[in-house]
Structure 1
Amino acid sequence: MARKSKKAKTKKIVRREYTKADVKELRAHSKARTPVAAIAKVTKRTEGSLRQKARALGIPLGHQR
């Protein structure tokens, strides 16, 4: 019998569209100057995803100074 190689399990990428509510929440966080790491935890999205969406919407994000 042939042995099966043990591969490291990787997470499957699940893409979720941004709803109007998501965009409204992102705008509110931008106005409140919430750090991107905190927004990522709340929205369950990656920091990169949030930054890309904010850039597409033309709103500033990432106010950690």
Structure 2
Amino acid sequence: MAKKAKKPIGRRDYTPGDLKMLRAHSKAKTPVAKIAKQMKRTEGSLRQKAIKLGIGLGHQR
């Protein structure tokens, strides 16, 4: 049986609007899981972008 071809990774660039929204959520201390669902991105992707921007993400307990 032949192997199935892997689906290419669908990457999307962050738009200026996405960055503005990410900064707003950072200030509001919105949980990362909620942001991920709203922006249709993974939590890891959002965390990495926040680190690059030098902003905190989510809240610490």
Query: Shorter-chain TM-score: which interval?
Result: 0.7 to 0.9
Gaps of 5+ in 1: none
The normalised TM-score by structure 2 is 0.86
Query: What is the CA distance between 1:5 and its match in structure 2?
Result: 5.4
Query: What is the CA distance between 1:46 and its match in structure 2?
Result: 0.3
Please tell me the root mean square deviation across aligned C-alpha atoms, in Å.
1.8
Mapping of 1:1-65 within 5 angstroms? 4=1, 12-65=8-61
Query: What is the CA distance between 1:6 and its match in structure 2?
Result: 7.1
Gaps of 5+ in 2: none
Identity %: 70
1:38 and 1:18 mapped to 2: Cα distance? 18
The normalised TM-score by structure 1 is 0.81
Pick 1 or 2: higher relative contact order, CA cutoff 8 A, min separation 6: 2
